[in-house]
Amino acid sequence: MPYAQSAQLFARGCGVFPDGTTRATVERDPIPRYILKGEGAYLIDVDGQRFLDLNNNFTTLIHGHGFSPALDAVARLLRDGTCFSNPTVHEIDLAELLVDRIPAVEQIRFVNTGTEAVMFAIKAARAFTGRPGVARVEGAYHGSYDWAEAGQGGTPSTWGSPDAPVAVPAYAGTPASVADDVVILRFNDAEGARRRIAAAADRLACILLDPMPSRGGLIPPDPDFIAAVVETARNYGILVVCDEVLNLRQSYRGASARYGIEPDLIAAGKIIGGGFPIGAIGGSRRVMSVFDGSAGRAKLAQGGTFSANPVSMVAGRVSMEALTELAFDRLEELGDRLRAALTAAIDRHRTHHVISGAASLFRIHPKRTLPHDYREVYPLPHETASMKEMTRFFRNEGVILPDGAAGCLSTAMSDADIDKITDVFERFLVTTPVSAGEAR
């Protein structure tokens, strides 16, 4: 068995964790592979197998594994202390870098995860507007705050009619009041967005918008949709919150800048921590003033035992400094090359696949044409089976392609890595077994 050591660890894990691991997102086929170490673009598992990593801890590791400048800076810091109840210079350094780069961010607060960042962005919008509700895009993932989760995992039997999408609760027992305060918009449906936002306007604090939701298919936002959301929000005094936890990696100035959105708040995370836990809420001074407790009680008190810990701050700053405009240009070129090469392979073999994504992100869909929204992205059973075969094929060829075939590149990758991904994909198309063939 090529994963005997992983199997042993998984057996131990099953004794202490409800499903053997501690993250719902851990991939298993048939069991999770336990990692010994990462090296640049590659992972080595406990059985000694080496994989090109297209997951990069769910897009976090934009420099790949073991990025030495960040590790050296952290090593120098460790003996001086890893967390304090007092502030340090390191939080100011990272904050200044982000304020300089991201047009929507005049001021910022740090937390420890993207989930917290989204949660505090929503709470900040509530504190600012005095309203409870959130409008969000169907299918998008925003972490696990109740109001950010409702509507993320709908299926054809639960998501409701196209005109009235349902805020499907994420788990049994979610208070019904959560759904009352969540309005679902369909991605790229400008008219529907206008209508639904206007109908709930007096209860809405914010519109939570990821400009290119990963679970929604990494599909480009239609400028009319973006304009409809932003204009309607402005008309009713509703705040626009861009969730850039994942998509900040789309450019030097982030995703909202790339797509011409001027949000009131953004939520960030992942790449800004240089491989350590982090989240951040940033926005205009006017809105961020809800966190200001200097004259007594803040409208919104935000703390967190590990918030702004110096390890994440230093690793994040060093890692972000290395992400120069040139580094982003190179990532964009790698991404463009990969998406074009995958598309050319599809054309050569005339299969029903299509590629989406931007910058360092890509996704392979088992579809004839580019989907428009979550409902079109949602895979039919034979498509799910074919995608499972694809990720298995990639793994057997030494490439970790995340489930759903949504992958990301890192600055540690070379042209040879892009060629390797393309070559494996092409061989998959040639050797696709029967169930995947149905997608043709």
Ligand X SMILES: Cc1ncc(COP(=O)(O)O)c(C=O)c1O
Neighbours of 17 (CB within 10 A): 13
Candidates 21, 56, 115, 312; binder of ligand X (CB under 6 A) is 115
Q: Is 404 in the site for ligand X (CB under 6 A)?
A: no
- Tokens for 78? 């460790």
Is residue 417 within 8 A of residue 71, CB to CB? The reply is: no
Place of tokens 């005049």: 106
Nearest approach, Cβ of residue 370 and ligand X (Å): 21
Is residue 234 within 8 A of residue 162, CB to CB? The reply is: no
Q: Is 65 helix (H, G, I), strand (E, B) or coil?
A: strand
Q: Is 269 in the site for ligand X (CB under 6 A)?
A: yes
Nearest approach, Cβ of residue 409 and ligand X (Å): 16
Residues 48-107 that bind ligand X (CB under 6 A): 58
209-222 exposure pattern, b = at least 16 Cβ within 10 A, e = fewer? bbbbbbbbbbbebe
Q: Is 245 in the site for ligand X (CB under 6 A)?
A: yes
Candidates 246, 257, 342, 424; binder of ligand X (CB under 6 A) is 246
Candidates 141, 159, 225, 374; binder of ligand X (CB under 6 A) is 141
Is residue 209 within 8 A of residue 241, CB to CB? The reply is: yes
Nearest approach, Cβ of residue 271 and ligand X (Å): 11
Q: Is 146 in the site for ligand X (CB under 6 A)?
A: no
| 182: Cα separation from own chain's centroid | 21
Candidates 40, 64, 114, 402; binder of ligand X (CB under 6 A) is 114
CA-to-CA distance for 35 and 6, rounded, in angstroms?
8
Residue number with CB closer to ligand X (143 or 385): 143
> Among the candidate windows 86-94, 136-144, 220-228, 420-428, which touches ligand X by CB under 6 A?
136-144
Place of tokens 């049994």: 172
Binding mask 188-217 for ligand X (x = CB under 6 A): ----------------------x---x---
The sheet that has 354-356: what strands, in order across it?
A: 354-356, 361-365, 406-408
Interface residues with ligand X (CB under 6 A) are 58, 113-115, 118, 141-143, 210, 214, 243, 245-246, 269
